[in-house]
Amino acid sequence: MSEKKVIDARGSFCPGPLMELIGWIKLAEVGDELELLSTDKGSAADVPEWVNKVGHEFLGSREEAGVWHITVKKTK
């Protein structure tokens, strides 16, 4: 996977966006970047927490018009 993978989890509630991200991370290769789109405010806080806990790299999060864009790099 060379391009940044965009995972559209808009409309799903916690922990749906996290589960979608994890499913795609398992398929990704080390070094790949993934961008999660979520409208769930709780997930915007929870996903970075998970990323830090399991040891991937949290690249950033921004909110645009009620949609959080959370970018993660697979590191292992």
Which residues are within 8 A (CB) of 55 and not within 5 positions of it... i.e. 6 or more apart?
A: 75, 76
Per-residue tokens: 3: 């391009």
Phi, psi dihedrals of residue 34, rounded to the nearest 5°: -130, 135
- Lookup: tokens for 69: 């864009």
Cβ 20 to other proteins shortest distance, Å: 9
Which residues lie closer than 8 Å to 2 by C-beta, 6 or more apart? none
Site string for other proteins, 35-54 (x = CB under 8 A): -----------x---x--xx
Q: Note whether 58 binds other proteins by CB under 8 A.
A: no
Tell me how far, at minimum, the Cβ of 39 lies from other proteins, in Å: 10
Near other proteins by CB under 8 A: residue from 6, 11, 45, 75: 11
Q: How far apart are CB 56 and other proteins at their closest, in Å?
A: 12
Q: Which residue numbers are catalytic?
A: 14
